[in-house]
Amino acid sequence: MHVFSKAVAAGALFALTAGSVAVAQDTIAIGVQVPTTGSEATYGQDMANAVEIAQEEINAAGGVLGKKLTMVIGDSACDPQQSVNAASKIVSQNVVGAVGGYCSGATLPTLKIYGDANVPFVITASNSTQLIPANPGNAFMINSTGDEQATKAVEFLSSKGVTTLAIVNQGDSYSQDLADLARDAWTEAGHEVSTFETVNKGEQDYSAVVTSIKAENPDAVFWTAYYADGGLLIRQLRQSGYQGIIAVGDGSNSAKLFEIAGRAGEGVFAFSNPIAEFLPAAKAFIDTYQAKYGNAPGPYAPLTYDGMQLLAWAINKAGSTDADAIKEALASADGQEWLAGPISFTEQNTLARSNFIVLEGKDGAWVRAEE
């Protein structure tokens, strides 16, 4: 049993003893907003699996406020309209809180829905800075935001001697935000952005952008969107003869990038949130995940597992299912260690530290890069 499951159980016992429980039902429903269909479904199913593991551990340890947790899964499909439908479905089920959120562009319109319903929402992957001003106050982001990723990118690429950079995005809330932040941080550092391109999601032929990049021949290319299309761009860049550094953002930190890019994925760098295989505390989680689902946990499994555990912890600390009390408890997180590291929040409800690491593609897998 994970250490935080023990904490949850202890909190539940205290709350029951104190007689402060205001729960009328036998179970407590938690909404899970993830893409289980569409191009990012692999990530979404992985996140749903991580929530399920956390739920089972919490319930095995006595539940929350003496109640069993149940899940209400809403498929965002990484699409804004479908995500709105998913959030509407979730809040209609009288959930006490929600976890998840992968594609920032799909998470963005749901903030108002959860805000209007006063449902605490722990966002476990989406990290566009556009989410910050749109947050009504009930959402808490436990993945570092795009500005932190841009800072990491500038630090790392500068250390590699890169001075000219091409940036390619897909015009959505996540990739455009990261591209803009990286461009601004790169130029503020005294470097040159040689090419800044926006391409369509689902594009198969990148010959135009490849030609544009090769004409400028920058020291590095930074792809800020998702792996499904990023793998194609990387392959076509290498096939064209481009020999500079290629780097990708955390939306492309899936091992599936290598299935698409093939050998062209060798030596690609990724700026990534913490992933399970590089977290010493995650061994038991990896074993459980592998035994239950037959494959290794994906890149957002640890954060999403933490999101469910954090929400359960907050409900217990609140001593009731009152939304305002749960939000107050979430805001009080003071840096205690979770699977993916310590969590505390800024006044804007964003993670109060940078959690980005640098990975490198070797032999068809990610390894930690030297920083």
- Across the chain, which has 371 residues, the per-10-residue mean pLDDT values are 41 38 72 94 95 98 97 96 98 97 96 98 97 98 97 98 98 95 98 97 95 97 95 98 97 94 98 95 97 96 98 98 98 96 98 97 95 74
Contacts of 190 (CB under 8 A, 6+ apart): none
At which residue do the structure tokens 């030297």 appear? 370
- Strands 365-368 vs 357-362: parallel, antiparallel or unpaired: antiparallel
Q: Which amino acid is at 218?
A: P
- pLDDT at res. 207: 97
Phi, psi (rounded to 5 degrees) for 158: -60, -40
- pLDDT at res. 5: 43
- pLDDT at res. 305: 98
Q: Which amino acid is at 40?
A: E
